[in-house]
């Protein structure tokens, strides 16, 4: 792979970008938000399985593209959910799945998945030839051999990747068993949970009633009304904090916030307990819970993250057969100025709160997000999220956010990934994209090289540690 | 004209772009969607008339710009519609109209119309001086002389332009007389109709009731209720297919889709027959008809195109005096994620359907269109449409669509033009813009030159043939 | 400061940009829209006060960024409004405020405020070192010394800045006392008022009832119903025109326009007089008043400007303590196609009207604004506004507007600033950004150098004079 990859072709900008990149290329990785399974680190001998177990089956970026071109998820080994009664699992021959993937790897040309995948093959697995149908089985053999070695246990890779801290994302009702096992094991990798209460605060979450029972059981607080619900949540936040959490995370269809009267919140909650909550109840309750979460963050200091605007499970055929997170979540237009006003008016001026916003609607960057973050002290902007975690997505973010919000109202990068082995590649893309952005500013004499050096350090290391209190 | 025009000024990117462009510059033109009048080819001796008949009067891109600067459409010879009773036709001296145009040609600097026009003058008419007031009459003479020659009959130009296939757009109630004449004439130019049923499926279409009578007459099916309406449409689709059609095309104010109960569809249809359909009826009926059209496409294999989001005839003064398509159609915000969900849920997983989406709302590119196309097997994205069929429009499209949808979920280019002589220039802009985009990826080491060569071939020739089944 | 600053790093484009920039760098400044206080010019000995009085306290771009990073407005000397009863004014030591600002000047890296500030320090105050905590007091001394000299009186700077005309923005109820004093003084600086009637035409404007009384008093027309209200407005417009105004300016939350029946307009007005107007009344009345203002512009020839889409005073804590214009105005999505249709249908074809549109919602550029301006003769597009008055904002504007609207449907630049000393820097950024845009077109062979020279002249001088009738 070319050492100047992803930099502008202009020789002057490229050379400045390279110098800036080199100044941070060896910095440890700070991973404040992601979805790596903590089980990987609970068992010191955890094995990733086959190349397909590692790289294909769990990666919705990979199989959504293949699916869009007519390849059935069954042919890629994606398990049905719930498992099909008579044991159908689709393709089980991982060599065949890998071949199918390699035959279609051209589909990823120019996509972030293509960029990450090539980087992983080259830098993590030492593959020197291009992945294609012809080379598929040779590369499969090479990866398989590597995965069998001790150097490819997750804990070993964690250290090789130079990860300073890795935060997972965990349901409010997760007992954090794996994190406890990791602590007990004496392994010193810095793994921290993140409190994600969507399953209990969104009344329309699948399995809400069961989640509530789990909340009661884990907190030791019998949740029977709004007041005990709030107590149980506070109890769990305290537990997460005791396990190292520094942040919470919240998904919502929209960033609607609204404070309900105590009585109204309890009325809705009681309707939900009886199974009679309406869609509007759920919307209003989520709006109220975002207010409560901000209040709790003010009190307990956990950083609050909000990821709105994804219409989950757009395709019911996929949802019914394969469950959630199968590449069928589609963004919608997302309004922040009015929706967040109640929350920001009440807590946005409070220095104890850090609220980090994300978006899938880039039209909000320059219009709403940068202008809000350039005013409210509590507000910070997260990096380009999901589909926009790409070279062009980052360039648009730098272009549209930075002039108005200022670099120092942003929080660096997070990889937000389930795919552990893609973490170094993702951070590398950010570091290169950031270096290239700053090199453009230097080459055009907006800033000088001293400023750019401080800014690339902030962009890749300083801001994220500070914002997430890591 | 400079052989490196429209490429990035960076010498490395420019040189790669040139190499990629050269590899496809001579490929035949595939024109799967457009509005060229089939009459041009029915009569082997068809003449374009004067330069103004050819280049000014029918081109709404041209006269909308002049109108925006205070030049009356009458002064440009644009005919009133219906024709004014006492025969007023505005300016009839085509030399004078041409002079007015040339005097104001500076208005088109940096616009796609300017780009196409200069290209046509140079490459089609061999004009070597710049168009301006001073040169206007000399150039008029040169074009006039050319148009008088046999080489400037439409059939001759069709071959000179190296058009492999040209699809027209034809109302469901068009008898395709010209296409039949062409077939009968033995001319081998590959001209194909496209089934466009807006005039009968949109209850608020001007002349809907008359269109319905024409539908009955042409199909031989007396349309008196929803069931016979559907039968008549299926009949016409079969006829279009027999005449070579491979696609349908649909305009709608929004991409709203919704399946009605059979009874409800018939109720609305009956109200419309009695002249009592409401605006909401029309909206719901269009939503239902898009579902029906997708169903028929699944069954008969015609590729379905959807062009939503244009508020037609925004300016009633222009509409009343000059009719439709006079430069007064203005885009609106367009939502796809929720609007298309019913259709995609029912047919989007079906490999028999190809649904090609277009947009005038670029904010949907990265948010909705690329993410939908990167998931649903039936979905493909059309090229930048109308106002966005421009060098910057293409750059934004490549930037915002390709990373998430992937190149192979797009369908190459279509010129979508009434202006036959602008076709080569429009395709050339796409080929140059595409080559420049890919050159940027090569220069930044995202892809290598072998990949880029395959991608430019796909972008300019392969994908469009495949998607449109040509 | 580098003489090639803000130009593309590509040597060819940079060299063309430099040549184009040089051709207009010395042109006088035309300032058709802004918020400079006319008092500066009424008193020939007006002094700007301290560097903090001049550069920090009145500049909401500056203190919003500092506030977003947790620095209280009190610490920056921003006065409370109304003044706090027991005289608290926050920090009064301007050296300390300047130190705080300089300590945090790194926050403005890569922002337009940083660009303007550095330019002002260098070109207006002759400062040669970088502003930072360490250099703060030395620079404070230098600026203080300069401000004490006669060369730093506003009238002297007006001439040094080479301002050909400066338009202020003045309430309909402003008696224009300062402008009258300027006239009487014999000073020949070309200062013109602009008629801004928001305080009387928006029923929900703070102090509306008092404003109405002032309108009666100033016009000499006792406003007691809609008809007398309109008469009073016409009277004030005539007065503004007699004082040199060539334009009006209008803010509205949305660009909604709608013509009311005369009776309905009066009903709403009467309800407002009685204090009983609803929010919907206010919306409808503003929609009606925009129609009336367009009608009056057709009649009296004043150019109409519309600045919609800012949700003012988003943060009530700031509003209650410090009043309006304190960095807490946040943009919202803004729809033009449907909202402006009534106004454009009635007046948009009339050559006597010039309506100049602005936006804070860049998604409307290519979708709605460029397409509307490329059709309606009365419509022109203003330059990037407020948060988008930046190098990237301008690049996006050129990219998204110019191909469809055409350069000649835009109106050059306006600085829109309260900060008099930032005017040269702001115009310089526009001239450089414009030269760089055109250089890109030349380098890519869209236009030739002769065309580019005419276009940069139009962009920086010609179009604005023509559009604003200056």
Contact B446 A69 (CB under 8 A): no
The alpha helices in A301-422, defined as continuous H runs, are 316-322, 341-347, 364, 370-373, 391-405
Tokens of A371: 């202008």
Q: Which of A371, A403, A443 lies nearest to residue C111, judging by beta carbons?
A: A403
- Subunit contact A341:C314, Cβ cutoff 8 A: yes
CA distance B346 to chain A (A): 9
At C95 the three-state DSSP class reads helix
Binary contact (A376, C110; C-beta < 8 A):
no
What is the per-residue pLDDT for B89? 66
Task: Quote the CA–CA distance of C73 and C75 in Å, as a whole number.
Answer: 5
| B375 contacts A68? CB cut-off 8 A | yes
| pLDDT value of position C81 | 80
Determine contact: B65 vs chain C, CB below 8 A. yes
What ranges do the domains of chain A cover?
11-46+153-467, 47-152
CATH superfamily, domain C11-46+153-467, is Metal-dependent hydrolases (3.20.20.140)
Q: Is C368 on the interface with B (CB under 8 A)?
A: yes
Question: Of B360, B52, B374, whose CA–CA distance to A107 is shortest?
Answer: B374
**B100 closest CA partner among B80, B120, B77, B83:** B77
Query: What average pLDDT does range B7-19 have in this prediction?
Result: 98
Chain C: nearest CA to A448, how far in angstroms?
10
Partner-chain contact C363 B360, CB within 8 Å: no
A301 secondary structure, DSSP code? -
Output the pLDDT for position A200.
98
B466 touches chain A (CB under 8 A): no
Q: Which residues of C217-246 are buried (b: 16+ CB within 10 A; e: fewer)?
A: ebbebebeebebbbebbbbbbbbbbebbbb
- Partners of B315 on chain C (C-beta within 8 Å) are 344-345, 348-349, 375-376
Superfamily of domain C47-152: uronate isomerase, domain 2, chain A (1.10.2020.10)
Please name the residue of chain C whose CA is at the shortest distance from the CA of residue B316: C345
Are C331 and A351 an interchain contact pair (Cβ–Cβ within 8 Å)? Answer: no
C56 interfaces chain A, CB cutoff of 8 Å: no
What is the predicted pLDDT for the residue at A86? 58
Do the strands A379-381 and A355-357 form a parallel or antiparallel pair, or are they unpaired?
parallel
Which of the residues C398, C444, C449, C459 would you substitute to probe the B interface, choosing the one with the greatest number of B C-beta atoms within 10 Å?
A: C444
Q: How many CB atoms lie within 10 A of CB A215?
A: 23
Alpha-carbon span A429 to A359, nearest angstrom: 19
Please answer whether residues A417 and A426 qualify as being in contact, where contact means their C-beta atoms are separated by less than 8 angstroms.
yes
Considering all CA atoms of chain B, what is the largest pairwise distance in Å, rounded to the nearest integer?
A: 67
Please indicate whether, in this complex, the C-beta atoms of C368 and B330 are within 8 angstroms of each other: yes
Is the Cβ–Cβ distance between A218 and A180 less than 8 Å?
Answer: no
Q: What is the pLDDT of residues C84-101, one digit of tens each?
A: 665 566 899 999 999 999
Q: Which pair of tokens denotes residue C131?
A: 């502003």
H or E element, residue C251: strand C247-252
Q: Which pLDDT band holds residue B81 (cuts at 50, 70, 90)?
A: confident
Chain B, residues 2-21, CB within 8 A of chain A, namely 8, 10, 12-13
Cβ–Cβ below 8 Å for C110 and A10: no
Cβ pair B409:A10 closer than 8 A: no
Three-state SS string over chain B comes to CCCCCCCCCCHHHHHHHHHHHHHHCCCCEEECCCCCCCHHHHCCCCCCCCHHHHHCCCCHHHHHHHHHCCCCHHHHCCCCCCCCCCCCCCCCCHHHHHHHHHHCHHHHCCCHHHHHHHHHHHHHCCCCCCCCCCCHHHHHHHHHHHHCCHHHCHHHHHHHCCEEEEECCEECCCCCHHHHHHHHHCCCCCEECCEECHHHHCCCCCCHHHHHHHHHHHHCCCCCCHHHHHHHHHHHHHHHHHCCCCEEEEEECCCCCCCCCHHHHHHHHHHHHCCCCCHHHHHHHHHHHHHHHHHHHHHHCCEEEEEECEECCCCHHHHHHHCCCCCCCEECCCCCCCCCHHHHHHHCCCCCCCEEECCCCCCHHHHHHHHHHCCCCCEEECCCCHHHCCHHHHHHHHHHHHHHHCHHHECCCCCCCCCHHHHHHHHHHHHHHHHHHHHHHHHCCCCCHHHHHHHHHHHHHHHHHHHCCC
* C69/A377 touch (CB, cutoff 8 Å), yes or no: yes
Contacts of B406 in chain A (CB under 8 A): 65, 68, 107-111
Mean pLDDT of the A265-289 span: 97
CA distance C225 to C203: 14
Residues 6 or more apart in contact with residue A46 via CB below 8 angstroms = A39, A40, A153, A154
> What's the confidence (pLDDT) of residue A81?
80
Region A194-216: mean pLDDT is 96
Q: Reduced to 3 states, what is the DSSP secondary structure of residue C121?
A: helix
Closest partner residue to C360 (CB to CB) among A367, A374, A444 is A367
Q: For chain B, how far is it from start to end, CA to CA, in angstroms?
A: 32
Q: Does C277 touch chain B (CB under 8 A)?
A: no
**CB B332 to CB C367 under 8 A?**
yes
Q: Is there a contact between B390 and B384 (Cβ–Cβ < 8 Å)?
A: yes
pLDDT digits (tens, 9 = 90+) for B359-382: 999 999 999 999 999 999 999 999
* Option in A8, A377, A408 nearest C67 (CB): A377
> Is the CB of C407 less than 8 angstroms away from the CB of B109?
yes
Does position B288 have pLDDT exceeding 60, yes or no?
Answer: yes
Nearest-CB residue to A375 (from C6, C328, C396): C328
- Ramachandran sector of residue A275 (left: φ over 0; alpha: ψ -120 to 50; beta: rest): left
Q: Which residues contact B333 (CB under 8 A, 6 or more apart)?
A: B309, B361, B363, C335, C363, C367
Q: CB pairs under 8 A, 24+ apart, for B19-22?
A: B19/B449, B20/B434, B20/B435, B20/B438, B20/B439, B20/B452, B20/B453, B20/B456, B21/B431, B21/B432, B21/B435, B21/B456
pLDDT at A4 over 60: yes
Q: Choose the closest CB to C338 out of B9, B316, B332.
A: B332
CA of C187 to nearest chain A CA: how many angstroms apart? 38
Gap between the Cα atoms of B457 and B466, Å rounded: 12
- Check CB contact of C290 with chain B, cutoff 8 Å: no
Which region, left, alpha or beta, applies to residue A132 given φ > 0 means left and ψ of -120 to 50 means alpha? beta
Confidence of residue A90 (pLDDT cuts 50, 70, 90): confident
Nearest to C409 among B68, B317, B392 (CB): B68
Q: Assign C127 to helix, strand or coil.
A: coil
Q: Do B111 and C444 touch (CB under 8 A)?
A: no
- Percentage with pLDDT > 90 across chain B: 97
Q: Across the interface, which of C109, C363, C392 has its CB nearest the CB of A407?
A: C109
Length of chain B: 470
Tokens of B429: 């802009």
Length of chain A: 470
Alpha-carbon distance C171 to B259, whole Å? 54
pLDDT at B340: 98
Residue numbers of B between 329 and 348 with CB closer than 8 Å to A: 335, 337-338, 341, 344-345, 348
Of B400, B441, B443, the CB nearest to A110: B441
How near does any CA of chain A get to the CA of C287, in Å?
A: 21
Whether residue A147 is predicted with pLDDT greater than 70 in this model: the reply is yes
C8, C68, C115 member nearest A377 (Cβ): C68
Which two structure tokens, joined as six digits, stand for B329? 């159609």
Q: How far apart are CA A299 and CA A293, in angstroms?
A: 10
From residue C222, alpha-carbon distances to A58, B420, C259, C267, C277 in Å are 75, 64, 24, 18, 20
Query: Residue B45 corresponds to which tokens in the numbers above?
Result: 């001796």
List chain B residues with CB under 8 Å of C395. Answer: none
What's the rounded Cα separation, in Å, for the pair B76 and B165?
32
Residues C311, A409: C-beta atoms closer than 8 Å: no
- Whether the CB of B110 is below 8 Å from some CB of chain A: the reply is no
pLDDT in tens, B90-143: 899 999 999 999 999 999 999 999 999 999 999 999 999 999 999 999 999 999
CB-based contact B446 A362, cutoff 8 Å = no
Nearest CA in chain A to B407: A107
Q: Which residues in chain C touch residue B391, judged by CB atoms under 8 angstroms apart? A: 403, 446
Helix/strand/coil percentages in chain C, nearest 5: 55, 10, 40
Q: Token pair for residue C166? A: 């400066």
Instruction: Tell me the average pLDDT across A33-59.
Output: 96
Q: Helix, strand, or coil here: C311?
A: strand
Mean residue pLDDT across chain B: 97
User: In this structure, is the dihedral angle defined by the CA atoms of residues B202, B203, B208 and B209, taken in order, positive or negative?
Assistant: positive
In whole angstroms, what is the distance from residue C348 CA to residue C180 CA? 34
Q: How many A×B Cβ pairs under 8 Å?
A: 128
Residue A307, pLDDT > 60, answer yes
Q: Mean pLDDT of all residues in chain A?
A: 97
Do the chains contact at A338 and C327, CB–CB below 8 Å? no
pLDDT for res A85: 60
State whether residue C259 sits within 8 Å of chain B by CB.
no
Give tens-digit pLDDT for B392-414: 999 999 999 999 999 999 999 99
Chain C residues 391-410 within an 8 A CB cutoff of chain B: 399-400, 402-409
Q: Does A269 touch chain B (CB under 8 A)?
A: no
The reply to whether residue C70 touches residue A455, judged by beta carbons under 8 angstroms, is no
* Domains C11-46+153-467 and C47-152 belong to one CATH topology: no
Query: Of the candidates B373, B265, A281, A366, which has an alpha carbon nearest to the alpha carbon of residue C360?
Result: A366
- Measure CB to CB from residue A446 to each of C110, C318, C331 and give the nearest one: C110
The residue of chain B nearest to residue A115, with distances taken between CA atoms, is B446
Q: What is the pLDDT of residue B270?
A: 97
Query: For chain C, which residues score pLDDT lower than 50?
Result: none
Q: Which residues of A touch C327 (CB under 8 A)?
A: 374-375
Shortest Cα distance from B434 to chain A (angstroms)?
13
Q: B87 pLDDT exceeds 80?
A: no
Q: How far is residue A13's CA from residue A460's CA, in Å, rounded to a whole number?
A: 19
Q: CA dist A100 to A131, A327, C83, Å?
A: 12, 18, 73
pLDDT at A57: 95
B330 contacts C368 by C-beta, under 8 angstroms? yes
């Amino acid at each position: 792979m070319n050492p100047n990859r992803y930099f502008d072709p202009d020789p002057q900008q490229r050379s400045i970008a390279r110098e800036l990149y080199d100044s941070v290329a060896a910095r440890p990785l700070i991973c404040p938000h992601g979805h790596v399974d903590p089980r990987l680190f609970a068992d010191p001998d955890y094995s990733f399985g086959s190349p397909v177990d590692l790289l294909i089956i769990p990666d919705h970026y990979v199989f959504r593209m293949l699916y869009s071109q007519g390849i059935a998820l069954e042919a890629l080994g994606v398990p049905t959910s719930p498992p099909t009664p008579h044991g159908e699992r689709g393709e089980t021959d991982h060599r065949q799945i890998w071949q199918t993937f390699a035959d279609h790897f051209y589909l990823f040309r120019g996509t972030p998945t293509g960029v990450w995948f090539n980087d992983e093959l080259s830098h993590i697995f030492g593959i020197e030839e291009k992945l294609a149908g012809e080379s598929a089985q040779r590369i499969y053999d090479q990866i398989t051999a590597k995965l069998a070695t001790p150097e490819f246990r997750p804990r070993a890779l964690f250290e090789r990747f130079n990860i300073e801290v890795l935060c997972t994302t965990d349901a409010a009702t997760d007992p954090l068993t794996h994190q406890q096992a990791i602590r007990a094991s004496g392994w010193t990798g810095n793994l921290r949970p993140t409190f994600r209460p969507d399953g209990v605060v969104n009344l329309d979450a699948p399995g809400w009633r069961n989640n509530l029972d789990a909340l009661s059981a884990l907190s030791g607080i019998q949740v029977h009304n709004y007041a005990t619900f709030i107590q149980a949540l506070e109890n769990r936040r305290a537990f997460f904090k005791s396990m190292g959490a520094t942040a919470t995370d919240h998904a919502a269809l929209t960033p609607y916030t609204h404070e309900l009267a105590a009585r109204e919140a309890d009325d809705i909650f009681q309707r939900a307990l009886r199974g009679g909550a309406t869609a509007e109840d759920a919307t209003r309750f989520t709006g109220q819970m975002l207010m409560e979460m901000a209040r709790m963050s003010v009190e307990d200091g956990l950083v609050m993250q909000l990821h709105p605007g994804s219409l989950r499970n757009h395709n019911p055929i996929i949802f019914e057969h394969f469950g959630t997170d199968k590449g069928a979540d589609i963004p919608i237009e997302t309004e922040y100025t009015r929706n967040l006003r109640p929350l920001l008016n009440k807590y946005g001026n409070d220095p104890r709160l850090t609220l980090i916003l994300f978006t899938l609607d880039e039209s909000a960057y320059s219009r709403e997000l940068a202008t809000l973050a350039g005013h409210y002290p509590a507000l910070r902007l997260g990096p380009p999220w999901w589909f926009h975690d790409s070279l062009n997505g980052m360039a648009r973010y730098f272009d549209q956010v930075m002039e108005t919000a200022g670099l120092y109202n942003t929080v660096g990068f997070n990889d937000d990934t389930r795919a552990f082995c893609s973490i170094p590649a993702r951070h590398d893309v950010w570091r290169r994209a950031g270096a290239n952005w700053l090199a453009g500013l230097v080459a055009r004499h907006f800033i000088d090289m001293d400023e750019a050096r401080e800014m690339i350090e902030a962009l890749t290391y300083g801001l994220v540690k500070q914002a997430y209190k890591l």
